[in-house]
Amino acid sequence: MPTAQQPIGVFDSGVGGLSVLQALRAELPHERFVYLADSGNAPYGERGDAFVAARTHTITDYLLQHHHIKALVVACNTATAAAIHEARARHPTLPVVGVEPALKPAVAASKTKRIGVIGTRGTLTSAKFAKLLTSLHGQAEFIVQPCDGLAHAIERSTVLAIPKAPAATETLALCARYTGTMGGFGSQPGEIDTLVLGCTHYVFVQDELRRLLGPAVQLIATGQPVARHTRRLLQAADMLALDSDTLDPACAITLLTTGMLAPLQNAARRWLQLPAQCCASMDLPTQGINPVE
């Protein structure tokens, strides 16, 4: 049986899920975490459901077998839509938390009831997202925009420790292109006053989005609701690490990647203020688990 001292597993197709890890650390400061970025296979949003499901199961099995995780946070909208129900069925005793575009909080926050949603094509064309939209029929008008290439551009921006102008220009141009097709943004009737960030990567271009859309538009992400839900599940299972538990900061967080190591190290420093020593590269084939020492 898992214990409170075991880590929480978190994974995403790349570095975007670090935004969820950021919220988890704030909500659960006494927990240990193992984060896996499947950057060698990113972006998930432009791959088929069968591939994403296979990666989800491989990563879950690895985190259970090698890190003995007590809970799993699927910090990827695409993987949540494609595979979370299967993951829960395969591991019925493991608390599994997914992410989805935060439409319900957006409805509560919006005054104009005209809400924009940006995400990967895989997320926004999924049956899970369609069901979520249907459940909110009549409560607001949703303008849904797939952002092909944006998550991948954010991944590329981490290749250099200090992003150069071309990387920043690329993400800004993509943000401008996609939001420009959605209609007017603002606080007046008929304008989009709330934008849902339907991909965990997009948290890291909030500044660009705010420059484009102005201060009147609210940006809604998923990290904090996911962190609060994770806390509730751990409390219910009596597996919450308490402040009385001894936690060595040096081993509190492990960051792994199936891609190049430097981008994860750069992202960890830039967005989580974590040292490069927390990061390691690994090989994780879908058939057979073979971590690199």
The larger pLDDT score, comparing residue 293 to residue 251, is at: 251
Which residue in 147, 175, 199, 279 is the catalytic one? 199
Q: What is the pLDDT of residue 293?
A: 34
Q: What is the pLDDT of residue 289?
A: 47
Active site residue 76: yes
DSSP state of 34: E
Task: List the strands of the sheet with 33-37, edge to edge.
Answer: 96-97, 71-74, 8-12, 33-37, 253-257, 279-281
Confidence band, pLDDT 50/70/90 cuts, at residue 161? low
- Which residues lie across from 220 on neighbouring strands? 196
Predicted confidence (pLDDT) per residue in 207-261, tens digit = 999 999 999 999 999 999 999 999 999 999 999 998 755 555 556 899 999 999 9
Active site residue 278: no
Segment 152-176 shows an average pLDDT of: 77
- For the chain, how long is the longest CA-to-CA vector? 57
Residue 123: CATH number of its domain: 3.40.50.1860
Confirm whether 286 is domain-assigned.
Answer: no
- Amino acid at site 179: T
Confirm whether 289 is domain-assigned.
Answer: no
- One domain for residues 122 and 211: yes
Which residue in 76, 175, 278, 279 is the catalytic one? 76
- One domain for residues 109 and 217: yes
0.75 exceeded by pTM: yes
Q: What is the pLDDT of residue 290?
A: 45
- One domain for residues 68 and 95: yes
